[in-house]
Structure 1
Amino acid sequence: MIRPLLFAALVALPALAGAQTAPAAADGAASGTPPQRVRSVTLGVGQKCPQSSDTEIVICSTLDQPYRIPKQFRDSGPIPAQNQAWGNRAATVDQVSRVAGGLPDTCSPVGSGGQSGCALATNKQWAAERRAQRDAESTVP
């Protein structure tokens, strides 16, 4: 008794599935083939999204700022010590200890080798000033 009902349900199942997809094809939808290309376009301010065609889908998105880091967080100055990695804090403590101890190449008035790093420190300061001047000139239109 259950076998004939099961057989009838299995035979009718493909017919029901075909009946569900038939109205979609009658509405003028695509033939069921997927698009050949999906293109993602990032637009700048004032740009228009290109038109899609039958063979491709165009997905447009806009960016107010081209950088991922929000403007208020960029170049905010030196990072406080409590927000730095322990390796950076250890390197800072090491450098301060070198200068305080008057080790060579530290430009310190304390100790016998402290004066050897003064020329190096002067050259680094001069290079940093030149770099800042070059950056300031390149940002001015």
Structure 2
Amino acid sequence: MTRLLLLAAFAVATPVLAQEEEAQSTQPQRVRSVLLYGDQQCPKAESPDEIVVCANAGDSPYRIPKNLRERTPGPEGTSWVRRAELIDEVNRVGMPGSCSPVGSYGASGCTLQAIQQWAAERKAQKARESNIP
């Protein structure tokens, strides 16, 4: 009975051993990973036992990727001085120089606000132009 079980176990394990030997003989001997920059072409395999894996890494190895170049300002990058200025602007509604239809002399700040907005847009445009490679 024990011999029969051993013979059955060996018969079941034989195809598995054959598959492992076959898989080992067909595996490539060398795998080469290449990072490509700009218009570089993927190199050809030097032998049939070699696999070349290519990945496009962007324009140049010395450049910051485009998605990381321009930072959009957020609350975490705003200084405390600017935060205090924003609070003052919000609380100025109805006061002279506030550019609001509420309160006495509220419309007096509309021209000043338009000039400040224009200056900020111009400054942002110059900053974007200076970042162009």
TM-score range, shorter chain: 0.3 to 0.5
Structure with more contact order per residue of length (Cα contacts < 8 Å, sep ≥ 6)? 2
Give TM-score scaled by structure 2 length. 0.37
Task: Give the TM-score taking structure 1 as reference length.
Answer: 0.36
